[in-house]
Amino acid sequence: MTIPSPEARRKFPIWIIFVIVGAVLLTLCVGGIAVFGVYNALSQNLLPASSPPALFVASDGQSQVRAPDNWQELPELHDDAEIRIGNEVGETYLIVLTEAREDFGELPLDEYIDLVTGSFSETIENAEFSDVRTLTINGMEALQLDITGTVDATDISYTITCVAGETNYFQLINWTLAEQAERNRSLLDGVITSFEQLP
């Protein structure tokens, strides 16, 4: 194919070329803004998830939670947890660990949560602990507290919820970036309160 000479290319008045170029640039600009807007919403976990939420069943069959359907299983979060889920774009995560109550004798729930959270002060820099809150989750007694601190130079906000099941204690540990903690609180609280013990 012959490449046209510069003279052959210029068959339109120059002002038409400027109009076409301007229109193309405007389209690219608007498209870029739209893409950035979607990305920004995703990065802040603001895009609504479809209903109904996704159901995640523990690998041991002892419990389940419901989470937005933009969450997924993330096995790399913890080697021993029975539920390991999250939204990597929104930086929101949850793990659930199951422990037999008989392994702790008559240890009450308030001492159990102290045992669970005690190790956090060893692994989190500048750890700050909130007061413990009393909850009821689907008929089960639960205790909850928040921990904020720094891990690998990143400020993290954790919420630790310990639930007393009939034969098991359950640890529900969720976390997000500290700067997004308030924004993500209602979402994460909803995941926690959906927790159920299975027969």
Q: What is the model's pLDDT at position 51?
A: 56
What is the pTM assigned to this prediction? 0.75
Nearest Cα neighbor of 155 from 130, 176, 174, 172 is 176
Residues 92 and 18 in one domain: no
What does the pLDDT look like over 53-75, one tens digit per residue? 999 999 999 999 999 999 999 99
Q: How far is CA 169 from CA 96, 126, 165, 199, in A?
A: 10, 28, 6, 14
72 and 86 in contact (C-beta within 8 Å)? yes
Q: What is the model's pLDDT at position 38?
A: 37
Measured CA to CA, the distance from residue 98 to residue 165 in angstroms comes to: 10
48 assigned to some structural domain:
no
Those residues of the chain that have pLDDT short of 70 are 1-51
Structural domain of residue 30, as residue ranges? 6-43
Residues 189 and 156 in one domain: yes
DSSP of 52-103: SPEEEE-TTSSEEEEE-TT-EE-GGG-SS-SEEEEETTTTEEEEEEEEEGGG
Residues 62 and 39 in one domain: no
Residues 156 and 120 in one domain: yes
Beta bridge mates, 150: 125, 155
Q: What is the model's pLDDT at position 135?
A: 97
Measured CA to CA, the distance from residue 161 to residue 180 in angstroms comes to: 19
**Residue linked to tokens 């603001």:** 46
49 assigned to some structural domain:
no
What does the pLDDT look like over 103-121, one tens digit per residue? 999 999 999 999 999 988 8
